[in-house]
Amino acid sequence: MVVELTYQCEISEGIHARPAGHIARLCNSFQADVVWQNCRTQREANAKSALSLIATDTLLDDKCIITLHGADALSASQALADLLTHLPAFTTVAEPERVSAATSLPRCLRELQPQYLTGIPISGGIAIAPSRFFTGVTFSELLARSPSAVVKREEEIVRLTAGLHRLRTRKEAALAIAGGIEQDLIEAHLLFITDSAFRESIISYLDTPMNAWSAIVSAAMGFSAILERSSSHYIQERTLDMLDIATQLLSEIYGAHARVQPVLSLDAATIVIADTLTPGQFLALNKQHLAGLILSATGKTSHTAILARSQGIPTLADVDVADSHLPSQHEMILDGDQGILITRTDEKILRYYRHEIDVQQQMSQKKHQARTGKPLLTPEVVLWELDVLDKNEVIKKMVDNLWLQQRTDCRDKLCQDIWSREVPFPTVVGSGFAIPHARSSAILDSTISVARLRQPVSWGGVAVDTVFMLTISQAAAENEHMKYFSTLARMLMNDEFVAQAKGAATPEALYQLIISTLAC
C-alpha cells in the first residue's frame, strides 16, 4: 500500500535536530518505508534518518511530499500526520535574546575612554579576569592526524561498532542525570550517534578503503557540509555538534592518548577566548573558574552558546579577535550587558566595574516594592564618606544610589542628562561644594541627593568635598527645577549653613540640617 501526505512546515527554524528526531523515532516504528521530499529544494530523505531529514533543508512554509510504502502505510500515515500537527508545540528553539552590540557606551564609562571590542551578547553579567586563548581542532587537522597503518575492513567495522556502542552507552548514562539545555544537547547527540545514515556513510568510506579514523572524519565532514549549506543559521551551527561527535567517537575507539582534541585546564578565574569550542569541550571546562567566554567563530545559536547562557556565564559571540593582537594571561573585562570586551584596564576602569558588580548584586537582592511617591530628601540618599577618585565617579555612584532607591529606572540617561550640564559649565559653587543638576525623564521622583566625600576631588579645577545633586522629574512643574536650584544656591551662600554642614559629624546630622533649612 502507498499513502501520500502533504506537509507545510510550521516550525520557525525548520526541520532541525529536535523535530527531525521526533519524526525519525516515530518512522522507525513503522514497517513501511517513508520518503520525505522537499518541494522547494527537491531533496529527498529517508524519514527514518534524522540527519537525512535535516539535509533536506526544510524551512518554515516549505511544502513537502511524504510517501509511505508498506503494509502498515495507512496507520503509519495517520500517526505521522498527528505528530506533524503537534510538532511546533514541542520543538521550540531556546535562542538567546536578540540584543544588538553596543553602539554607545554608558556616559560614565565613556568618560574613562576604554579600549574594547564589540560582540553579540549571549549572556549578561560582568567578568574581570585574565584571558586565555583556546584553539580547537578542525576537520582538516583531524584528517591529517589519521594513523597510517594498513587495516582490514572487517576489523575496522568491528572497532566502529564497538566505539558507537560505548559512546551511546556513555551518552545514555549522562542523559539519565542531565536536565535543561544539557539534556537537549545529549538527546541531539544521541540522535546523530544512532542515525543509520551516519553509520552507513562511515562504512561507505571504509569501502574505499580507509581506516576508521579517516572514515569517521570524512563522514562527519560530509554531513557538516550539508548543514553549512542550509538557509537556516540554526541548522548551520549544528556543524559544531558533528565535530563534537566525531572527536568523541575517535576518542572511544583510539583512546585518550590519541589526543583528538586539545584540553583546556582552568585553575583560576579566567575569561576564555575561543575560535571554535564544541559543546563537549564547554561542558568539560571547570565552571568554577570560567569567569567569562568569548566565542570568535562559534555562533550565537550554537549549542555551546546556548549552554553558556543557561549557566549564566557572561558570554559574547562573533567577537573579531583575529587582528587585535591580544596578549594571553592579560587582565580583561567582559561586559555581557553592553556586549563589549575591554582589552586594556586601569585603576579607574577596574573601580567602575567592581562598583557596577556590587550595585547589580545589591539590586538583585532587593525585594520589589509597589511604586509610590517619594519625598524630596530621605536619609537613604545621603551618602557618607563616599570613596571616589574624580567627578565622574561621584556622578556614577550617586546616580546608582538613586537606582537602588528606585528613584530612576534609566541610570545611563540620567548620567547623560547630568553630564550635559557639566560639560559647558562645571557646577562647582565654592567652599568645597558642587551642585550637579538636571531635569530628566529618567528620574521618577524629584530628589536632592547628598554625598560627603572621603577625600576631595577636582571639580572644574576646584577641590570639592561635599556634593548636592538635584534631579528633577520631567513631570514636575516647569519652575520646580530652578526653584530648588535657587534654594540650594542660597543655602550654600549662607556662611552659617556652610559652617554647620562642614561641621556635621554624621550623615544623620547633615540630613537633619538640610531638612530643617529647607523647611524655613
The pLDDT, as a whole number, for residue 209 is: 86
**CATH code where residue 210 lies:** 1.10.274.10
> Higher-confidence residue: 478 or 70?
70
Cα distance between residue 237 and residue 30, in whole Å: 31
Residues 410-452: pLDDT tens digits? 999 999 999 999 998 899 988 899 999 999 999 999 999 999 9
Percent pLDDT > 90 in the chain is 73
Determine the average pLDDT of the residues in 96-106.
64
Residues 198, 222 contacting (CB under 8 angstroms): no
Cα distance between residue 146 and residue 279, in whole Å: 23
Residues 421, 437 contacting (CB under 8 angstroms): yes
Does residue 438 fall inside a structural domain? yes
Does residue 364 fall inside a structural domain? no
* Average per-residue pLDDT for the chain: 91
The pLDDT, as a whole number, for residue 477 is: 73
Residues 337, 125 contacting (CB under 8 angstroms): yes
Q: Are residues 311 and 381 in the same domain?
A: no
> Higher-confidence residue: 128 or 328?
128
Q: Are residues 509 and 418 in the same domain?
A: yes
* Alpha carbons within 13 A on the beta-carbon side of 465: 11
Q: Are residues 249 and 280 in the same domain?
A: no
Q: Which residue has the cell 561507505?
A: 204
| Banded pLDDT at 489 (limits 50, 70, 90) | confident
Determine the average pLDDT of the residues in 335-344.
95
The pLDDT, as a whole number, for residue 174 is: 94
| Banded pLDDT at 180 (limits 50, 70, 90) | confident
Determine the average pLDDT of the residues in 214-236.
91
Does residue 357 fall inside a structural domain? no
Q: Is the pLDDT of residue 238 over 90?
A: no
The pLDDT, as a whole number, for residue 520 is: 63
Q: Is the pLDDT of residue 257 over 80?
A: no
| Banded pLDDT at 260 (limits 50, 70, 90) | confident
Q: Nearest CA to 84 among 175, 27, 9?
A: 9
Question: Of the candidates 258, 287, 322, which is a domain's last residue?
Answer: 258
Determine the average pLDDT of the residues in 449-473.
96
Q: Are residues 477 and 407 in the same domain?
A: yes
Does residue 398 fall inside a structural domain? yes
Determine the average pLDDT of the residues in 471-487.
80
Does residue 303 fall inside a structural domain? yes
**CATH code where residue 289 lies:** 3.50.30.10
The pLDDT, as a whole number, for residue 96 is: 47
Residues 18-44: pLDDT tens digits? 899 999 999 999 999 999 999 999 999
Q: Are residues 120 and 269 in the same domain?
A: yes
Does residue 117 fall inside a structural domain? yes
Q: Are residues 179 and 220 in the same domain?
A: yes
The pLDDT, as a whole number, for residue 29 is: 96
Number of helices (H), then strands (E), belonging to the chain: the values are: 19, 18
Determine the average pLDDT of the residues in 461-480.
89
| Banded pLDDT at 348 (limits 50, 70, 90) | very high
- Among 90-99, 139-148, 309-318, name the one with the lowest average pLDDT: 90-99
| Banded pLDDT at 299 (limits 50, 70, 90) | confident
Q: Are residues 267 and 122 in the same domain?
A: yes
Q: How many domains does the chain have?
A: 4
**CATH code where residue 70 lies:** 3.30.1340.10
Residues 108-124: pLDDT tens digits? 999 999 999 999 999 99
The grid cell for 511 is: 540630613
Q: Are residues 282 and 387 in the same domain?
A: no
Q: Is the pLDDT of residue 99 over 90?
A: no
Question: Of the candidates 56, 90, 124, which is a domain's last residue?
Answer: 90
Determine the average pLDDT of the residues in 270-299.
92
Does residue 356 fall inside a structural domain? no
The pLDDT, as a whole number, for residue 101 is: 56
The grid cell for 285 is: 571546562
Q: Are residues 235 and 273 in the same domain?
A: no
Residue 472 φ/ψ, nearest 5 degrees = -110, 135
- Among 187-191, 202-206, 230-234, 264-268, name the one with the lowest average pLDDT: 230-234
> Which residues span the domain enclosing 309?
110-136+263-348
Q: Is the pLDDT of residue 251 over 60?
A: yes
Residues 4-20: pLDDT tens digits? 999 999 998 899 888 99
Which H/E stretch holds residue 380?
none
Percent pLDDT > 70 in the chain is 96
Does residue 97 fall inside a structural domain? no
Q: Is the pLDDT of residue 168 over 70?
A: yes
The pLDDT, as a whole number, for residue 171 is: 95
Q: Are residues 250 and 144 in the same domain?
A: yes
Q: Are residues 374 and 510 in the same domain?
A: yes
The grid cell for 143 is: 584528517
The pLDDT, as a whole number, for residue 401 is: 98
Determine the average pLDDT of the residues in 482-487.
80
Tell me 101's DSSP state. Answer: P
Q: Is the pLDDT of residue 82 over 90?
A: yes
Q: Are residues 234 and 312 in the same domain?
A: no
Question: Of the candidates 212, 227, 258, which is a domain's last residue?
Answer: 258
Residues 362-401: pLDDT tens digits? 999 987 776 678 899 999 999 999 999 999 999 999 999 9
Angle between helices 180-193 and 17-27 (to 10 degrees): 50
154's CB contacts (< 8 A; 6+ apart) are: none
The pLDDT, as a whole number, for residue 166 is: 97
